[in-house]
Amino acid sequence: MSSARGIYQAGARHSGSSLSPRLPFDDLPLRPSLDFNPFTMCGIFAYCSYLQDKDRKTICDILCNGLARQEYRGYDSAGIGIDGDKPGEMMFFKEVGKVAGLRKKIAEASVDTSKTFLSQVSIAHTRWATHGPPSIANCHPLKSDPKAEFTVVHNGIVTNAAALRLLLQKRGFRFESETDTEAVAILTKYIYDSQPDKRISFPDLIKTVLKELEGSFAFVFKSCHYPNEVVTARRGSPLLIGVKTEKKLKVDFVDVEFAGPEGDAKSLDALAPTSPGGLLAPPSAGPNLLRTQSRAFMSEDGMPQPIEFFVASDASAIIEHTKRVLYLEDDDIAHIAEGELHIHRLRRNDGDGPQVATHRMIETLEIELAEIMKGKFDHFMQKEIYEQPESVVNTMRGRVNFDQNVITLGGLRAYLPIIRRGRRIVFCACGTSYHSAIATRAIFEELTEIPVSVELASDFLDRKTPIFRDDVCVFVSQSGETADTILALRYCLERGALCVGIVNTVGSTISRETHCGVHINAGPEIGVASTKAYTSQYIALLMVALQLSEDRLSLMNRRTQIIEGLHALPGQIRKVLDNDKSLQDLATGVLANQRSLLLMGRGYQYATCLEGALKIKEISYMHSEGILAGELKHGPLALIDENMPVIIIMTQDSLYPKVQSAFSQITARKAQPIVVCNENDDAIPKGVKTIRVPKTVDCLQGILNIIPLQLLSYHLAVRNGFDVDFPRNLAKSVTTE
């Protein structure tokens, strides 16, 4: 996001003085927020329009489209809540299954779709079951009572919901669902009813509710007591607001209202930069720019103008309407009413943590709607596999100077001396991100001569792994919202380690809370299988290793060799993709109807085996296992016979003779392996089935080798009739422990 500019002040431990220089994470804001608990990734969407005639059909279409854009996150039911025909009345449409079923239910309903609203607020949600099975009763939006005085949609888990439910039941409230969300809706009504003589504002009411909640969440509240108003809040779960006006916005920030004098909306103080060089300071607009003007979005003549707001969990739901978005931070409470957007805070700071920013920038999204659509491809996964020549270029763009063989990662530049002095580098990740760290561990050790360990985030936390102040901890996550990885990050921050983030999603929790890092710039990923993320993370990590070694003359030739390999990589990936038809034949022929598959390799290719096996498991539901070829005699060899399908990765590098030995061992036991090998390799016996790939530098070969396995998993799934983009039991962002 070109408009986002951020600063982060690291502690004295890393700077040698009271404050370190203000440093960018690829020029993005980093503000720690330590109030996190694991949450479930569902999909929130809300639509608010002011001074615009919108008929009910248009509103329903906007809501359903917003949900459909977030389908890739994983869900089992969907629902919307819209204004009814009478003042304060709500209409609900809910359906178990896909958004397409919800659209059909709305189309079949006997409601006046032509009814027009000058101003309105509507909410929608895709649910992934946690409390109670998928059902109409458990589907969001959830209401506080039969009259729906308060309506809520919710991502996350309220951990004290059972205690709240018991308390409210004792007060005479009846529950219709098994969800934790309904307890929040009823609690809101209970607090509102408990003070009938006091006209409490909607944001103040929600603040009171949130103080009673434990856990992690993103909420959108709507109420008949506050017509055409909506309140959203987040703690841990991502939430953003899109703003759409006919005329250009007068300001590109919204001032944050804190409790006390600083939050006085009538203050006449002009907004000033937080510091002379503060990169987050709003642009100077003269002394007459008042705090209230940052929230009202008035036109140039000072009159209210028609405006639309879109609240969502994901930018993909908003991009078709507007590119102007504002990311909420933990403990932000946003209030939309009368065409104005106010942002309140639960508290000024997080205990002993740093002060939070006094405004939220309205940023410009750079992704296009076409990027998140399937286009000419049958599935999102297929599209993402074929986009990898472009995505790896995007990861390197502006960072690799192929003329001078120089790597420049702006988000790391000022921290390089600290990383080089570290006593060890600890990678922490889950799933595909973990495999990308395994794939680059050897080159890190070779180029930096710093010991490297790679940890699964969940196991890292379970073991309470010792972390010290001179450790460098690298957190790899495609979404930047992976729960276990975030908890591991906070564990390391508490122990004084330097924390580095490698993420794809701009504005994500990991990108904000790490000291520095690199965005992989792979573009939006829609399918659950993170194909682009793996190759782009692989390259981003490799670039980090290259930049860390730039001060060592003895490694100049090795670095040059790798950078030249990076230059040739996009063309080589296209060459691999040209062999898609032969891989489809393998999937429908040799591997058809098989129940299990072994993949083996060693050295750099061990990670390729692990990632290939994972893709085959999660997309085609075939049991598959990645095996280190050096461990063959220590157990796995017992599985080998003529009935066990095996893929062995035998591309030419320093370990090629050892992999040939493993090949001899399995063929001696009647295995008929499929061999992934280089194009010019004449040592492969005749009659052996092969997958030929171009040859590149040893540490880059895994990128070319994984692509046939991605395609193989895709074709296996399609052949068996499985939903490639929505595999069972999985979601895009794994945000529960």
| Residues 6 or more apart whose Cβ sits within 8 Å of residue 668 | none
Cα separation, 564 vs 276, in Å, equals 42
Residue 693 has, within 13 A of its CA and on its CB side, a CA count of 29
CA angle 336, 342, 347 (to 5 degrees): 125
Cα separation, 75 vs 97, in Å, equals 8
CA nearest neighbour of 186 among 198, 195, 196, 177: 177
Amino acid making up residue 12: A
CA angle 394, 704, 657 (to 5 degrees): 145
Total residues found in the chain within this entry: 737
Strands (E), 313-364: 324-327, 332-337, 340-345, 359-364
Is residue 504 within 8 A of residue 520, CB to CB? The reply is yes
Amino acid making up residue 614: L
Is residue 240 within 8 A of residue 325, CB to CB? The reply is yes
Would you state the structure tokens that stand for residue 52, as one six-digit string?
């615009």
Task: Report H helices in 338-430.
Answer: 380-386, 388-396, 416-421
Per DSSP, the residues of 709-720 read: HHHHHHHHHHHT
Torsion, CA 408, CA 409, CA 413, CA 418, rounded to 10: -120
Cα separation, 457 vs 576, in Å, equals 33
Would you state the structure tokens that stand for residue 102, as one six-digit string?
């919800």
Tell me whether residue 151 is exposed, middle or buried, using C-beta atoms within 10 angstroms of its C-beta: 0 to 12, 13 to 18, 19 or more. Answer: buried
Active site residues: 42
